Amino acid sequence: MIELVTNMERAERKETEVSEIENRGYVNPGVLVSTDWVANHLNDPQVRIVESNEDPLLYPSGHIPGAVEVDWTRDLNDPVRRDYLGKEGFQALMRRIGVTKDTTVVFYGDKNNWWATYAYWVFQLFGHDKAKIVDGGRIKWLNEGRPLTKDVPSYPPSDYVAAERDDKRIRAFRDQVLEHTNAKKPMIDVRSPAEYSGEKLHMPDYPNEGALRGGHIPGAKSVPWAKAINPDNGTFKSADELRALYEQEAGLKPGDDVVVYCRIGERSSHTWFVLTHLLGYKQVRNYDGSWTEWGNLVGVPIER
């Protein structure tokens, strides 16, 4: 009887959390999963949980049981030139972590899923759309007292065949950004206000990573990425709150062609995720060159 009650309570809590996400009014609520959903799919062979953090010490210190690590520098970037891994590299990564075309990849991480959405975005460059984000990320899992492990899982290698990387649909390059700003199309700078104003060349409490000039791309509106998050538990704000945020502070309208950027494209991938999947904007591209490229370019316009 005790176990029966426990199962009933679990089912009720799962239903509450799922409906709570659905009731926020997102265009695509299925792209988010609750921590309860994750707990109920820890042993699901069709699900691969991926932790992706800024802090490389977090995963070895303890992670969700069964989760693999995808490190943004080691696993997602070309080791020599500034670019992402290519088709063969992505294919090798997916085979190594045991992911097939039918596997649902579920991302979570630190910094309110800042790097989890970055990894999600890179996966979309290769068309792996069976992917979700854990609402609240690592901090919500920890705050709820859920289990962690230091055991690193090993999965049988898959035979994943990767598609060619698509750099046109959701990615913007510097020349395209220059055309975008000259055409006065909407652009969002998701960095901190001090970076946007030019007061700082880097994030507060972070070292300067090479930008020679401060400021922002002309016409870009300042909407810091973290405004999309509830500060108490790291979950995403409701669609009404998000829509008001981007309509009021950035002047966005349905149908807009939007470019988002930050420092190297990591924070802006979070805003790309919000605009694309939670609010349903059809044309949103992430300028991953961002300020470390624009702030060093010769002859491009800068505002302060």
Pairwise CA distance, residues 171 & 168, whole Å: 6
Pairwise CA distance, residues 106 & 34, whole Å: 11
Tell me if 124 sits within 8 A of 130, measured CB to CB: no
Q: What residue has token string 């020599």?
A: 80
**Of 64, 122, 262, 275, which residue is the catalytic one?**
262
Helix (H) / strand (E) containing 225: none
Pairwise CA distance, residues 260 & 283, whole Å: 11
Q: Is 90 left (phi over 0), alpha (psi -120 to 50) or beta?
A: alpha
Pairwise CA distance, residues 230 & 81, whole Å: 36
Query: How many residues in total does the chain contain?
Result: 304
Residues in Cβ contact with 277 at an 8 Å cutoff, skipping those fewer than 6 apart: 26, 27, 28, 31
Q: Is residue 118 among the annotated active site residues?
A: no
Residues recognised as catalytic: 262
